Structure 1
Amino acid sequence: MKLTDILTRDNIILNLRGDNQSDVIDELVNKLDQNQLINDPEMFKEGIYKRESEISTAVGYGVAIPHAKNKSVIKPTIIMGRTLQGIDYGGQHTNLIFMIAAPENASNEHLSLLSQLSTFLMSETFRAKLLVATSESEIITAIEEQEKLTEVDSNDESASGKYLIGITSCMTGIAHTYMAAESLKEAAEKRGMKVKIQTNGANGPENKLTTADVQKADAIIIAHDVRVDTSIFGGKRYIDVPVKKAISHADQLIDQALSYDIKEDNVDNTMVAKESESEEKSGLNFYKHIMSGVSYMIPFVVVGGIFIAISFMFGIYAADPESDQYNVIADFFNQVGGEAAFALMVPILAGFIGYSIADKQGLAPAMIGGMMASIGGSGFLGGMIAGFVGGFVAKYIGQSMAKIPKSFQGLVSVLIVPLLSTLIVGAFMFFVLNTPMSMLNVFLENWLKSLTGISAAILGALLAGMMASDMGGPINKTASAFGLAMFAANIFEPSAALMVGGMVPPIGIALATTIFKNRFTIQEAEAGKASYVLGASFITEGAIPFAAADPLRIIPANIIGAAVGGALCMAMDISLKAPHGGIFVIPIACNKPLLYIGCILLGSFITCLMIGLMKKPLSEKERNNAKQMSSII
């Protein structure tokens, strides 16, 4: 199958009538509908705008590639639109728009053809042919000629010159992934370099790199908007940038990558180095390590909290065999949730902090230290410290023994490193940390339990406001870590305030886009619908695009609405035994579910009203010209 099988003459509009992004998208979608290539235009358009809200599909060079993959598409299709005068698309002057429509069950062959177009558009000559074409037939001819030109394998490693390797990966894996790879390839080949770029596309990794490629490489570039596995590079230094930078600045990136002279790097496959992150190189990226531990711990917290809440539904003492309320099902849920899941929380936190610092070598000593923290009463905070001590000690011992002959390296990693590092972290926890930290925990617990009325309200407002301030950022995570520490100590009121702080911003913004529609662009109003679901699910990040587009109005409104809800929540002594899950856990994990939902809704309405009062109404033209929200996230 050829590209021209899915980009046909019927799907080419040489002179788009629209003079803005919204009108052009409508025109292209209507053409797809007329050609009976989609069966639900509104659903497909919603998919297009959802993709635009994640990150603009304007890729530079006067090209935009809006795309969506959903069940409204009858068969894989590309429709091309051209506007010689150009339009503002996602903040960039654009002349060529290629709209990609892929069904949910699109085959690998179809997806490869769709991504092939992205690589063609990196050619300046090809784009020029499309701009000067006077008929649909000339467009098709230009595509066919480009297909013939790319039949030669430009990645032939027998060519002379230095060797560039890399990985590209965008959010959807359809367009930007391949455009970044093609941009790097084109820039490198102009220098006479050999090139191999692994593309982590919708079909999975293609052109996969090997250890032999890494050994031969003179330069490495990683361009990604989503997480990629870079362990294959070992200790080799590499450039780490967003996908769009690789598309627009390939030459500069190659210059920088070549300057690292990675042939001199001493490769250790248990390490990954990032030249651009000095904190990472020194092993002192505390925030990243803590969040790694917390992310692995959260499922245990959620499961444990929900199961304990279910147990309590049978009666407060229903899990106690000595009680008249005893129920074997309640005992089962309590044992799974309280005695198993909760018991693993702190060790898992500590273990994966250690894993983040020292990879597998740090897991055992840090996790054992975390268990000692749990047994010795130092709890969540003690577990965090155990994770850092275990991780850094294991890392230091492992690096100190790096020069031991390879025949003994297996013994070092399996026996010597975990044994010595566990001895050190165990002694530290037993003789130094557990006693003072357990005393601190008792003090904090007693203080929090003593809070009532105004004092409790102030703490609730502070925690909820912090959660809403940067929506998933460092302040948010700091408040969340405090709540988890208290949760591990069986104090559940802060968790309730924190969830209010996480749910209010997206719900409040969603309400504002519904009640005050004329304050938002059409694109923002569409994104607002998704914020209802995100907010109800306790996904605060749904508010980020709006806050990024208008921070001086949205962020204060978020903080004030969340603070009011959080203050009322703690003042009324509302507790929540499952710190994540949103509306799905409130009925079973909250002691006062109706009052709690009322706190969330009140805070959301306050946020909504503040946004409505602070934002000015937009004209119809301004509403139709969708702003690029996501490009500054």
Structure 2
Amino acid sequence: MKITDLLKISGIDLNTKVSTKDEAITKLVDLMDSLGNLNDKEAYKKAVLERESLSTTGIGDQIAIPHAKTKAVKAAGLSAMVIRDGIDFDSLDGESVKLFFMIAAPDGENNLHLEVLARLATMLMDANFKNQLINAKSKEEFLALIDKNENIKVNKENDKMKAGSYRILAVTACPTGIAHTYMAAESLENKANEMGVSIKVETNGAGGAKNVLTKQEIKDAECIIIAADKNVSMERFNGKKVIQTKVSNGIHKSEELINKAISGNVPVYNHGSKSSDSDDSLDEKEGIGRQIYKHLMNGVSHMLPFVIGGGILIAIAFLLDDYSIDPSKFGSNLPIAAFFKTIGGTAFDFMLPILAGYIAMSIADRPGLALGFVGGALAKAGTTYASAFDSSISVVSGGFLGALFAGFLAGYIVLGLKKVFSGLPKAFEGIKPILLYPVFELLLVCLVMVFINPFFGSITTAITAGLNSMGGTSRILLGIVVAGMMAIDMGGPFNKAAYLFGTASLASGNYGSSNGWWYGTTTCNSNLYNIL
């Protein structure tokens, strides 16, 4: 679906006279309603304002894209307006806003909301195009400009697909897979066109990989640029010249990346080798802290669906239950509450193995995955040497910290054993991945985990005791502090520290002390998935 399929003449106003943010939103809602896209105008406006209360949709550079996805919308649509003098819209860059697009998406449209946002974001990166829209003399010209620009992009993609061969290939990816993924792709494509260099960019976005690179294209390309802040499939680039860097460099240093790619002075990527980790000339050298952070975030990102889904179901269980029946079984007293708590608890049971598994996979690729799962499961169970031989001995779960340790341990054990077994005769190559690696790796991880689990169990016990000893006022204060840390820097170090604390609390069973963390998580995730 194209942008021009959603935006009509009657939904555009180029001479709007409003002076406040609320008036601007009201006008855009009126335009949307005039298109016949709304079931309930007031309910839709309320949803837009609720979305706006989470964080501003003024994305900067004189642009705002307020939006809402709600049952009040019966058909997806766009409205647009221009305020030539600009108004204060609480934009991220603090500047006034002149160009507005409003998106209405019905609940049933799963990806339309994100797709339209992504397409608008990339098109509006062109300053000339944006200024042409602001200065358009008529609605017809405004709509024609959008149609022309969008057709150029479509034709460009079709031409690239027909060409079948490119000098440079690129892959862009960011953790959320919405804005930066496509902005980096757009920046690389625009700069390559200016320089007369043919390029194809694969985007690993929220809707999955698009414009996927083929085997023949990879074979024919001179160099591949990987501008990504998350793991992408790398084995396909084995033996090719590869530049690896941050997704932000794909946006802001596209010319440097392309010049580097066509210079020929790029190391050959050997999959599984540490010698081809990153391009240090365009990115600061990746230290141990940065590597640990990336591995940790790979585990956390895969764990999130289990944490959020399970946690919300457990919260529903507490909401529906009657505390007065049996306080010791709060959350499970009523059958309906027990149902939700059981489902949520089952999701939580996967949390620690998933975390450890994907940390290990980030470090050692696929051979680390199963090993990390087992290590995480052992950390969760709290198995020790004594309890392994006598099931009557009580154990304490190693919890979140134990699973973190298990993930890193599993990953680096895999790397270590690969080096140890590299000296074996070639006759053993066939049995390494199916026999030697699994048996020896699993044995080593289990031996270490059953030895270290009591240490992490004591830490978990101390954390649990400390949280349980808090009074009501202390817990409220803790919730305020943690929620504030989650929201203050939009995914930065404060956010990550608060997130890990909250997850550790939940992993140890302290649902009550994590209410503030849940509020902060919900707010922060809403910001990330909606504003971008």
TM class by shorter chain equals 0.5 to 0.7
Is the counterpart of residue 389 in structure 1 residue 369 in structure 2? no
Shift of residue 29, structure 1, vs aligned partner = 1.2
The two structures, once aligned, show a CA RMSD in angstroms of 5.7
**Cα 1:427–1:297, aligned 2, differ >3 Å: closer, same or farther?**
farther
**Distance across 1 between alignment mates of 2:460 and 2:113:** 59
**Cα 1:188–1:540, aligned 2, differ >3 Å: closer, same or farther?**
same
Within-5 A mapping of 1:548-563: none
SS of residue paired to 1:155: helix
Is the counterpart of residue 499 in structure 1 residue 524 in structure 2? no
Is the counterpart of residue 96 in structure 1 residue 99 in structure 2? yes
**Structure 2 match to 1:135:** 138
Q: Which runs of 5+ in 1 are unaligned?
A: 319-328, 503-537, 549-627
**Structure 1 match to 2:287:** 278
AA in 2 matched with 1:438: P
Shift of residue 2, structure 1, vs aligned partner = 6.8
**What is the aligned-residue identity percentage?**
27
Aligned length: 482
Shift of residue 415, structure 1, vs aligned partner = 1.8
**Cα 1:49–1:396, aligned 2, differ >3 Å: closer, same or farther?**
farther
TM-score in terms of structure 1 length? 0.57
**Structure 1 match to 2:521:** 541
SS of residue paired to 2:417: helix
Cα deviation, 1:449-469, whole Å, max 9, x if unaligned, reads: 7x9998989997997687456
**Cα 1:298–1:545, aligned 2, differ >3 Å: closer, same or farther?**
closer
Within-5 A mapping of 1:173-252: 181-199=185-203, 204-214=208-218, 216=221, 218-222=223-227, 229-231=232-234, 236-241=242-247, 250-251=254-255
TM-score in terms of structure 2 length? 0.66
Shift of residue 362, structure 1, vs aligned partner = 2.6
SS of residue paired to 2:270: coil
**Cα 1:404–1:78, aligned 2, differ >3 Å: closer, same or farther?**
farther
SS of residue paired to 2:16: coil
**Distance across 1 between alignment mates of 2:150 and 2:459:** 72
Cα deviation, 1:262-285, whole Å, max 9, x if unaligned, reads: 552223499995665433775586
**Distance across 2 between alignment mates of 1:453 and 1:66:** 42
**Cα 1:72–1:176, aligned 2, differ >3 Å: closer, same or farther?**
farther
Higher relative contact order at CA 8 Å, sep ≥6: structure 1 or structure 2? 1
**Cα 1:248–1:341, aligned 2, differ >3 Å: closer, same or farther?**
closer
**Distance across 2 between alignment mates of 1:453 and 1:170:** 34
SS of residue paired to 1:96: strand
SS of residue paired to 2:288: helix
Cα deviation, 1:88-121, whole Å, max 9, x if unaligned, reads: 4413343322323343445999997886665554
**Distance across 2 between alignment mates of 1:279 and 1:111:** 35
Q: Assess if the C-alpha contact under 8 Å between 1:362 and 1:391 holds in 2.
A: yes
**Cα 1:149–1:459, aligned 2, differ >3 Å: closer, same or farther?**
closer
Bigger Cα displacement from structure 2, 68-77 vs 28-37: 68-77
**Structure 2 match to 1:470:** 485
Bigger Cα displacement from structure 2, 151-160 vs 389-398: 151-160
Shift of residue 145, structure 1, vs aligned partner = 4.3
Cα deviation, 1:542-562, whole Å, max 9, x if unaligned, reads: 45599x9xxxxxxxxxxxxxx
Is the counterpart of residue 27 in structure 1 residue 27 in structure 2? yes
SS of residue paired to 1:80: strand
**Distance across 2 between alignment mates of 1:453 and 1:347:** 25
Q: Which runs of 5+ in 2 are unaligned?
A: 330-334, 386-394, 487-493
Cα deviation, 1:205-237, whole Å, max 9, x if unaligned, reads: 43223455455362425468xx77555676754
Q: 352, 367, 374: which is aligned to 2:383?
A: 374
Shift of residue 14, structure 1, vs aligned partner = 1.5
Shift of residue 17, structure 1, vs aligned partner = 0.8
Bigger Cα displacement from structure 2, 107-116 vs 97-106: 107-116
AA in 2 matched with 1:360: R
Q: Assess if the C-alpha contact under 8 Å between 2:172 and 2:182 holds in 1.
A: no
Larger radius of gyration: 1
**Distance across 1 between alignment mates of 2:145 and 2:314:** 61
Shift of residue 53, structure 1, vs aligned partner = 5.6
Shift of residue 379, structure 1, vs aligned partner = 3.9
SS of residue paired to 1:97: strand
Is the counterpart of residue 267 in structure 1 residue 271 in structure 2? yes
**Structure 1 match to 2:39:** 39
**Cα 1:86–1:214, aligned 2, differ >3 Å: closer, same or farther?**
farther
**Structure 2 match to 1:525:** none
**Structure 2 match to 1:624:** none
**Distance across 1 between alignment mates of 2:39 and 2:256:** 45
**Distance across 1 between alignment mates of 2:255 and 2:189:** 10
SS of residue paired to 1:198: strand
Q: 150, 154, 160: which is aligned to 1:155?
A: 160
**Distance across 2 between alignment mates of 1:442 and 1:359:** 31
**Distance across 1 between alignment mates of 2:2 and 2:71:** 23
**Cα 1:112–1:220, aligned 2, differ >3 Å: closer, same or farther?**
same
Is the counterpart of residue 438 in structure 1 residue 458 in structure 2? no
**Distance across 1 between alignment mates of 2:265 and 2:482:** 43
Shift of residue 193, structure 1, vs aligned partner = 1.9
**Cα 1:23–1:400, aligned 2, differ >3 Å: closer, same or farther?**
farther
**Distance across 2 between alignment mates of 1:14 and 1:237:** 45
SS of residue paired to 2:7: coil
**Distance across 2 between alignment mates of 1:459 and 1:2:** 52
Cα deviation, 1:37-81, whole Å, max 9, x if unaligned, reads: 323223333444455566654455544333434333343333221
**Distance across 1 between alignment mates of 2:405 and 2:51:** 41
AA in 2 matched with 1:267: H
**Distance across 2 between alignment mates of 1:177 and 1:205:** 11
